[in-house]
């Protein structure tokens, strides 16, 4: 079973930055949708950002302008650059793939996305 492996999380103060990475040897990143999700304690999982196979990004309203999703197809690595972090960004962050060129909506995460890894924890203190 193919898994994606997240890394790069950590603890920062509000206003700080982190860059998350997501690597896999099981998917050709040029052929699939890739996305970042997060889940805070006691809250439902939410979509953060997605990138189509052709490299078109989409963002949740809460992170637009602060987060940037990108990928390196040659390295099969997905990134999430997070700037101006806020305490409400504190969560476990996961990446996942949908085996389509376009990205299904985040609400379809459970059925359309796969390769869920262990996640990487992001903690932002005020």
Q: Give the three-state DSSP class for 56.
A: coil
Q: Rounded to an integer, what distance in angstroms lies between the CA atom of residue 39 and that of residue 46? A: 6
Q: Give the three-state DSSP class for 84.
A: coil
Q: Give the three-state DSSP class for 109.
A: helix
- pLDDT tens readout for residues 26-80: 888 999 999 999 999 999 999 999 999 999 999 999 999 999 999 999 999 999 9
Torsion over CA: 103, 104, 108, 112 (sign): negative
- pLDDT tens readout for residues 117-126: 899 999 999 9
Q: Rounded to an integer, what distance in angstroms lies between the CA atom of residue 53 and that of residue 100? A: 8
């Amino acid at each position: 079973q193919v898994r994606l492996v997240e890394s790069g999380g950590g603890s920062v103060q509000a206003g700080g930055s982190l860059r998350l990475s997501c690597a896999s040897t099981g998917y050709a990143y040029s052929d699939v949708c890739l996305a970042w999700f997060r889940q805070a304690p006691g809250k439902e999982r939410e979509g953060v950002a997605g990138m189509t196979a052709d490299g078109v990004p989409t963002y949740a309203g809460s992170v637009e302008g602060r987060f940037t999703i990108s990928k390196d197809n040659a390295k099969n690595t997905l990134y999430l650059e997070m700037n101006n972090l806020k305490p409400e960004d504190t969560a476990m962050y996961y990446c996942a793939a949908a085996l389509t060129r376009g990205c299904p909506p985040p609400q379809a995460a459970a059925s359309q996305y796969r390769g869920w890894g262990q996640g990487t924890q992001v903690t932002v203190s005020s």
